Chain A
Amino acid sequence: MTELSNVDEQRRAEWLALYERMLLIRRAEERIGKAAQAGELPGGVHLYIGQEASGVGACSVLGDSDFITSTHRGHGHFLAKGGDVKAMFAELWGKRTGICKGMGGSMHVADVSKGILGANGIVGGGIAIANGAGMGIKVGKEKAVSVCLFGDGAANQGVLMECLNMSAVWKFPVIWVLENNGLSEFTITDKVTAGEQTDRARAVGMPAVTVDGNDVIAVQEAMQEAVDRARAGEGPSFIECKTYRIRGHLEAEDAFLGGYSYRTQEEIDAWTTADKDPILRFASRLLSEGGASQGDLDEIEARISSQVEEAVEFAMASEDADPELIHEITFDGQRP
């Protein structure tokens, strides 16, 4: 390793942390995909593979007191915001040690103590929640921000226009992070969408930018600017991250499609190359200008590999969810 100045050393550490978080999401989800295909999980899963840079970049400038709302494709957001990988795996396996005690599953992973207000099975379900959290922060005169991570499918829900409007008119500390992967479940978004996404935010006078969503640093920089603006009481911002979903809408997609498809293999391959894949391209950048060595990256790979396997073992060894719990937790202090 070459000699680094203090500034460079700090950047190296920060960049390696971003890399490690992205790689954790990738390897964790590859393992989840394998488990899903082997029929080891009680329910279906929607994988985030290919989009890691947007979630990790967005959450890299947030603390535990900041809120995020997520999507049905929420594992990446959960881990990016500091959620525990073992507790997430146990949740997916339907175990009582799961982060939601096995009552939520893949589409509802949440850790309120870390500001993760939950993945959400309703497309666009997080939009009004994030806006309400922004209102709550403002009413409480707190310094926190609320970040809504949503997709281009969700962007066509009417609730987005309503909430963009309210967040702008009342200057809520909300950052709208659109992860535009070009796909609305099994439909090409462009075929059902008019105009530019960012124009929807500009229509209510909100600052809006489009960034390369597969470039974790570009996302981080845009987020930092938006978060600073929100914390200063200057209101919401809109960031469109252009990215791509490598895996299907859900892991059992082929069974649903019955031989039909909505995209070509060539299209998918074009997003997995070394200059497009968010993890591969950040690895090269780390090596070329981040001061990292291949040894650093190998060490991270090895660490994550054992972390993921430990999480699987923890999940599989844990006790099944407690069916009685449903009656205890539906209400606070009251049976349903």
Chain B
Amino acid sequence: MAKQRYIQAINQVFLDEMERDKNIVLFGEDVELAIFGDTREVYKTFGPERVYNTPICENSLTGMAVGAAAAGRRVILHLMFGNFVYTGMDAIAHQMAKLRMMTGGQMDLPITVIAGYGGGRSLAGQHSDTPYPTLMNIGGVNVVTPATPADAKGLLTTAIRGNNPTFFLEASGRGGDSGEVPEGEYLVPFGKAAVHKEGSDVTICAIGTMVRPALRAAKKLEEDGISAEVVDPRTLVPLDEDGIAASVSKTGRLVLVDEAKDRCSAASHIAAVMADKCFGDLKAPIKRVTVPNVSMPYAGVAEMAIFPTPEKIVAAVKSITGEMAGAGA
């Protein structure tokens, strides 16, 4: 184990995997200068034969990822911001997600699309979105939301070596987060949730960027006598339904924390699945702490007013643990 920043963990995987597998091509806008830091040194190391610093045309880039994969390459496409999933959506939804099925399974599409998602940094409406609910609903692409540097390393390696199109959504603005990262080869399997903190009174299921506020909330709740378990699905497609259900069945309560807009969010999907799987074990309604169905505003105060915070998570938990002996005041 060694301490590494989130963005360094991603960067190191690119360098390691492209060294390991000469069949990998990486392309995207501004990857040469690596404005997020995650592709730093990649162009310099592997050169223009394997790294294409592209013009700004996301809809072509997503389609080209499909073509390059169909031609036998292993593809990494950097889409920069999560919002550009929308500008590149035609080929994502119509080609990337469907060609394998429509060709009767003839086509392997080893594609990793990486993009930074999420708000909280006054990037305003067009650069703060959380596009995974859209991707989850397409059918045919994997969706990965690493919350820690170790998971970033393990999940990205699995994505790159896998044969399915995978969206690796990195938490924007969390590149500086530091954590212990296993050295050497390290793969985290898809569809396996992580328990960041164990607890017995309530399960807080937090997605991607929301793991950190969820852990802060859990700490505060601990002080108030409520034992919260913090579960992180890590991958939304495939989703570890059984892993999350095991925690919910144990605690009997579930609060979901999701940076997506509430309507058809990952939280609402998981809530539906858990209502189905854990109905008999639930002691209270399932609660969601999400973003209202509006665009992300620019001003910091306005942004934080709609953003999930530790305080909102604590309040949501207390709204369903009110009858507990040790709960609240």
Please report A residues at the B interface, Cβ cutoff 8 Å.
67, 69, 98-104, 108, 110-113, 117-118, 120-122, 125, 127-137, 139-140, 144, 146, 158-159, 162-163, 165-166, 169-170, 325-326, 328-336
Min CB distance, B298 to chain A, in Å? 29
A122 engages B71 (CB within 8 Å): no
A135 engages B140 (CB within 8 Å): no
Q: How far is the CA of A134 from the CA of B60 in the complex (A)?
A: 13
Query: Which residues of B1-44 have CB atoms within 8 Å of chain A's CB atoms?
Result: 23, 25, 27
Min CB distance, B304 to chain A, in Å? 37
Partner of A330, one of B54, B55, B90, B139: B139
Please give, as numbers and ranges, the residues of chain B lying within 8 Å of A100 by CB-CB distance. Answer: 102-104, 106
A103 engages B63 (CB within 8 Å): no
Q: A136-B25, A166-B55 are in contact. List 17 more A-B contacts (CB 8 A).
A: A69-B67, A101-B105, A103-B102, A111-B106, A112-B107, A129-B67, A129-B95, A131-B64, A134-B67, A135-B64, A136-B72, A139-B68, A162-B57, A162-B60, A330-B101, A331-B142, A334-B191
Determine if B238 is an interface residue (Cβ-Cβ < 8 Å).
Answer: yes
CB-defined A-B contacts under 8 Å, sample of 25: A100-B104, A103-B104, A108-B102, A108-B103, A110-B102, A112-B70, A112-B103, A120-B95, A121-B94, A125-B94, A127-B63, A128-B64, A129-B66, A130-B67, A132-B66, A133-B68, A133-B71, A139-B50, A139-B68, A159-B59, A159-B90, A162-B59, A166-B57, A166-B64, A331-B164
A146 engages B71 (CB within 8 Å): yes
Query: Which residues of B93-134 have CB atoms within 8 Å of chain A's CB atoms?
Result: 94-95, 99-108
Q: How far is the CA of A134 from the CA of B71 in the complex (A)?
A: 8
Please give, as numbers and ranges, the residues of chain B lying within 8 Å of A130 by CB-CB distance. Answer: 67
Determine if B62 is an interface residue (Cβ-Cβ < 8 Å).
Answer: yes
Query: Which residues of B38-94 have CB atoms within 8 Å of chain A's CB atoms?
Result: 49-50, 52, 54-55, 57, 59-73, 90-91, 94
Min CB distance, B91 to chain A, in Å? 6
Please give, as numbers and ranges, the residues of chain A lying within 8 Å of B60 by CB-CB distance. Answer: 127-128, 131, 159, 162-163, 166
A128 engages B63 (CB within 8 Å): yes
A132 engages B65 (CB within 8 Å): yes
Min CB distance, B243 to chain A, in Å? 16
Determine if B163 is an interface residue (Cβ-Cβ < 8 Å).
Answer: yes
Q: How far is the CA of A120 from the CA of B91 in the complex (A)?
A: 11
Partner of B73, one of A104, A136, A333: A136
Interface centre among A101, A117, A333, by most chain B C-beta atoms within 10 angstroms, is A117
Please give, as numbers and ranges, the residues of chain A lying within 8 Å of B105 by CB-CB distance. Answer: 101, 325, 328-329
B164 engages A159 (CB within 8 Å): no
